[in-house]
Amino acid sequence: MLSPTIALMNSLDFLVPDALIPRAHFGTDSAPELLRGLNLPHLNFLAAHAAESIPVIELEASLAVWQAWLLRDQTEPNLAAIRAEAMGLPATSASRWLIEPVFLQVGLDSVTLFDPAQLDLNHDDAAALAEAARPVLKESGWQLDIASPLHWMIERSDDFDLHGVAIEHAIGQGISEWLPHSSSDANQLVWKRVVNEIQMTWFTHPVNLAREAVGQPPVNGLWLSGNGHQTRVEWPYAKISTSQLLLKQTKLNSTSSIALETFDHLSAPTRAQDWSSWRNALQALDLRLGDVLQQMRDGQCDRLRLVLCGEDELRDVLIRRSDFWKFWRRGQALDLLIG
């Protein structure tokens, strides 16, 4: 649950995945229609009082945009290792990857990745599927850990060259261009063989048989991502409010006066192309930003950095409390929400 207060921080970084209106579905002319009828006074205010747009450096393309922004000062960050450290797992020289259990929907000419958030996979079922997959992974040199039902990690002790992209890039799309890659064809074949064996193991697994019996999609694949070289990150935040697993349990910076909050309720409707729910979530975002603005007026925060993410771009703006007196300024939320 998101914290309702900033706790007297001088500065707040407010990060919103999937906030930008997707160009693939709404062009410049049709984007205003998506916002028609919404009351967004706080986004309008922020659009009018944004002190500056912060130049965006080149983001790491293999990460989701919100991840790339958070790790913008890092070189080839390893999300799996960063997550392992946040979970308190021991440091190791082994290579680590994220793997996520998924449903791959096979069509006539493509294989589409189903949104894992809709799988409703509970801890016991995830553990049972992981246990069935463990021997296959171990035989090929990987050890498996479960961070949560939908977020697993694998590691191996040798220098195995294999890279994948964040799952956010591929959800709802054909997966052919997003599959793991390596400079070694042999390594790609090893991973492909492992995934195929796990798929066969899971095909008649009791968990999947039970899911299909009640109309739920089976878990029939694994998505690999998160491998890089840099394994440690010093987060600059004294307080973090989020539902993102990457940021939970992270070590805070007690000397900082910066807080981080993520608003994560726009992602699911964006993935489902449920624009009615997206509008409702945007209205909730505006209400939350109203609370933030009030806290700024009350002197609890001097600076707001609002980072609105899209599929492959973002808008990064700074708002200062010292500019609030310029009451004659007018702005539109649409100016912030179009990438």
Q: What are the pLDDT digits (tens) for 239-269?
A: 999 998 888 778 888 899 999 999 999 999 9
Instruction: Let me know if residue 249 belongs to a domain.
Output: yes
At 177, the amino acid letter reads E
d(CA 7, CA 300): 7
Answer yes or no: do 18 and 114 share one domain: no
Answer yes or no: do 304 and 327 share one domain: yes
Instruction: Let me know if residue 3 belongs to a domain.
Output: no
Answer yes or no: do 84 and 110 share one domain: yes
The predicted pLDDT at position 4 comes to 47
Half-sphere exposure of 64 (CA within 13 A, CB side): 19
Tokens 């991973």 correspond to what residue?
A: 191
The predicted pLDDT at position 51 comes to 79
Instruction: Let me know if residue 4 belongs to a domain.
Output: no
- Per DSSP, 117 falls in state G
- In Å, the largest CA–CA distance within the chain is 68
Q: What are the pLDDT digits (tens) for 183-222?
A: 999 999 999 999 999 999 999 999 999 999 999 999 999 9
pLDDT surpasses 70 at 47: yes
d(CA 310, CA 288): 19
The predicted pLDDT at position 1 comes to 39
Q: What are the pLDDT digits (tens) for 265-315?
A: 999 999 989 999 999 999 999 999 999 999 999 999 999 999 999 988 999
What is the pLDDT averaged over residues 64-83? 88
Tokens 């309008």 correspond to what residue?
A: 44
Among 166-170, 230-234, 254-258, the minimum mean pLDDT is found in: 230-234
Answer yes or no: do 172 and 282 share one domain: no
Q: pTM for the full model?
A: 0.89
Instruction: Let me know if residue 292 belongs to a domain.
Output: yes
- The domain containing residue 155 runs over which residues? 79-225
Nearest residue to 50 via CA among 281, 303, 292: 303
Give the chain's domain count: 2
Which tokens in the block code for residue 195? 């995934």
Instruction: Let me know if residue 71 belongs to a domain.
Output: no
pLDDT surpasses 90 at 5: no
DSSP states along 186-201: HHHHHHHHHHHHHHHH
What is the pLDDT averaged over residues 147-151? 90
